[in-house]
Amino acid sequence: MAFAIEPPIDPMLARAVQEIPEGEGILYEPKWDGFRTLVLRDGDRIHLQSRNGQPLERYFPELQAPLAAALPDRSVVDGELVVAGRQALDFDALLLRIHPAASRIEKLSRETPASYVAFDLLAAEGRDLRRRPFRERRRLLERSLHTGPQVLLTPQTGDPALAARWFERFEGAGLDGVIAKRADLPYVPGERVMWKIKHERTAECVVGGYRRAARGDGVGSLLLGLYDDEGVLHYVGHTSSFGAKERRELLHELEPLRGGPSFGEGRTPGGPSRWSRGRSLDWIPVRPERVCEVRFDHLQGDRFRHAARFLRWRPDRDPASCTFDQLAPPRPFRLAELEREAQAPGP
C-alpha cells in the first residue's frame, strides 16, 4: 500500500515575531530544538522526512519500533527529532547522528538515542486531515498517539501567561522559545502561517579576525571570540550584518590591527567542510583590541549556532573582560520537568 500522503511533503512554517501573540483561539507550544521531521507510517514501514524532503530513517534506526507502536496506521505526523542530554537537549549530539558509516550510526543509536516529539497530525487511517482545523487535528493526535519514553506529545496551552512562563522556564533546557498557531488553522504546506517567538540574548565579544567580502571591497564578516578562565581567546561565531559602505569602513579600521595572536592558542574559525560548498573560508587575524556587542538566538555548545547580529561597538569594554560566563544558561535546566509534561495526557 501507499502512504496516506506521498512524500515529499512541505512542512507548515512559522514567521518570527518579537512578542507572544494574544487573542481568542490562539494555542501555544514549546519550540523544540532539533530536526523538524515528518513521520509517515504504512503498516511496519516507517519513513522519516526532513524539512527539506530528505530521508532520515537510516540515521535513526532506534526509532523504527517505537514509532510503529505509537502512531496510528497509515498516518502522517509532524514533529521534531531531538536528543536529550543529561540536563538539556543536545543539538551537537543530534548533528553527529548524520553520519555516512552504518557502524557509527548503530553505535550512536545506542549511546545517544533520539526521541520524537509530535505536534500535528496530517493523516490517520489513510485519511488526509490537512484541511481540518488544527484544534481537531490535535484532538485526534491526543487520542491516537501512544506515547512512551521515545515518542512524546508536545505540551499545549491556550493560556498566553502559561506560554510566557514556558518561554522563560525552559530556555535552560535548550528549547528555542514558543510556537503559536490559530486553533482554526488548516495545515498549509510551505506557508509561514504560524508564529515563532525565539530567545534572543546579547554578548560582548572580541573581534579576533575577519573574512573579506566575496564580492566587492570590504569586510564580509567579523570573527568573534571570548576568553576562557585561562585567558585564552576562542572563536565563538561571526557577524556579517553590514551594508556595502560599512564593509569598506570596517576594512579601513581593521587593517592596522592585522596580525598578532588572535585565536592562535584557542579554537579557531573552521576550514572547508561539507557544509561550506566551495566557499573561501580564509580569514585574516587581527590583534584582539576591538569589542562589539552582538545579539544571538541560540548556542551550539559554547558557540553561536547562527550568525550573530551586530548591535554596536563597545570601546568602553576591556577585551579581557569578554569571557564565556556571558553565555551561562540564564536559569536552571528543567528538561526532566518538560519531559514529564510532554508525557502527560493532553488537555
For the record, the C-alpha cell of 22 comes out as 494574544
Work out the angle at residue 40's Cα, subtended by the Cα atoms of residues 36 and 44, and round it to the nearest 5 degrees.
135
Catalytic-residue membership of 31: yes
Distance CA 179, CA 138 (A): 14
- pLDDT for position 281: 64
- pLDDT for position 123: 98
- pLDDT for position 201: 83
| Catalytic residue of the set 31, 107, 196, 198 | 31
Distance CA 320, CA 342 (A): 43
Pairing of strands 127-128, 75-82: unpaired
Instruction: Single out the residue of 65, 87, 83, 78 nearest to residue 148, CA to CA.
Output: 65
**Cell 508536545 identifies what position?**
154
Q: For residue 235, which phi and psi values (nearest 5 degrees)? A: -65, 135
DSSP-assigned letter for residue 269 = -
Domains and CATH numbers, the chain: 13-197 (3.30.470.30), 201-327 (2.40.50.140)
For the record, the C-alpha cell of 269 comes out as 574559525
Number of Cβ within a 10 Å radius of residue 21: 15
- pLDDT for position 274: 38
Longest Cα pair distance anywhere in the chain, in angstroms? 68
Beta strands in the chain (DSSP E): 13-16, 26-31, 35-42, 45-50, 75-82, 115-124, 127-128, 151-153, 177-182, 192-198, 201-212, 219-227, 233-239, 284-285, 291-296, 299-300, 303-304, 309-313
Distance CA 254, CA 276 (A): 25
pLDDT block averages, 10 residues each, the chain of length 347: 92 92 96 95 96 95 97 97 88 90 96 97 97 98 96 95 90 86 97 91 93 86 95 94 89 90 84 43 90 88 89 88 81 56 53
Distance CA 214, CA 246 (A): 15
Distance CA 76, CA 110 (A): 26
DSSP readout, 79-103? EEEE-B-SSSB-HHHHHHT--S-HH
